[in-house]
Amino acid sequence: MKRTRFTPGQIDDLHAMVTRFTFPYQAVWQRVGKLNVNRTITKARQIGATAFFAREALLDALTTGRNQIFYAPTREQAQVARAHMQAAAWQVGMNLSTNAAGHVLLHDAQISFLGEGSLCAAYSGNVYVDEFPWFKNPRTALLIANSMSMHKQYRRTLYGSPSDNYLAFQVWRGDFQRRTHPLPALFMPGSSFGSDGVWRQSLTLEQAIAQGCLLHDLEDIKRECTPEEYRVLFGCDWSQAINNKESAA
């Protein structure tokens, strides 16, 4: 099976291109990721998380040889990341090779795209759980993500907008790490590093706009959404999930 091999110059060009199109909040994600720290991010819709993490994963695979795994509620959703990788690779003159399952094959690494119903036991690597609050069972998704990233060289990244699923809120809060709410060990602007070793962030649309994300018309969005919809989709509000605590018990 043919594997894609980038030249050192192409990797440098890819890194420069990614840096050029990175918003400040994405640069924070990148800096935390380089510490090999697990990340859990609640975010507004459509602020470029999947696009950024796809490029980050591609660069990490090329420079470290580590496998990368995108895990989403459906396999089709996971493959959105592959499209972003292909677009980035084309910018430096490369076409990514894939196998019969649609996974990207690089010289030293594989990038896989899995859905909630996938058989995941044979996979290991850095894991990106895309829209983790929208899995049918976020708790099981976390366990599977943990199992695929358990080697000490790998990291785990969960990101998505809130849902009304109380289990997803518990995943976000870290209830399943030590059966208690992990205490923030270190506060940073807009985020914290918890006693369970997970970096957590909530990033609203207004905060993203303040950091240079000018892709949205904020007033247009507020006109089209009810206040409740806006708080969930763009304001990182978990209230609906918290209200469903009793039904999740």
Residue 145 Cα distances to 29, 61, 141, 245, angstroms: 19, 18, 6, 24
> How do residues 14-24 score in pLDDT, each as one tens digit?
999 989 989 99
Global pTM reads 0.93
Name all domains of the chain by residue range, CATH numbers in brackets: 8-248 (3.40.50.300)
> How do residues 149-206 score in pLDDT, each as one tens digit?
999 999 999 999 999 999 999 999 988 866 566 666 555 667 888 888 899 999 999 9
How many angstroms from the chain centroid is the CA of residue 136? 17
Reading the block at residue 101, the tokens are 């399952």
Burial class (CB in 10 A: 0-12, 13-18, 19+), 176: middle
- What are the pLDDT tens digits along the chain (249 aa)? 688 999 999 999 999 998 998 999 999 999 999 988 999 999 999 999 999 999 999 999 999 999 999 999 999 999 999 999 999 999 999 999 898 888 999 999 999 999 998 888 889 999 999 999 999 999 999 999 999 999 999 999 999 999 999 999 999 998 886 656 666 655 566 788 888 889 999 999 999 999 999 889 999 999 999 999 999 999 999 999 999 887 665
Starting at the edge strand that comes first in sequence, how are the strands of the sheet with 156-160 ordered? Answer: 104-105, 110-115, 68-72, 126-130, 156-160, 38-43, 198-203, 191-194, 184-188
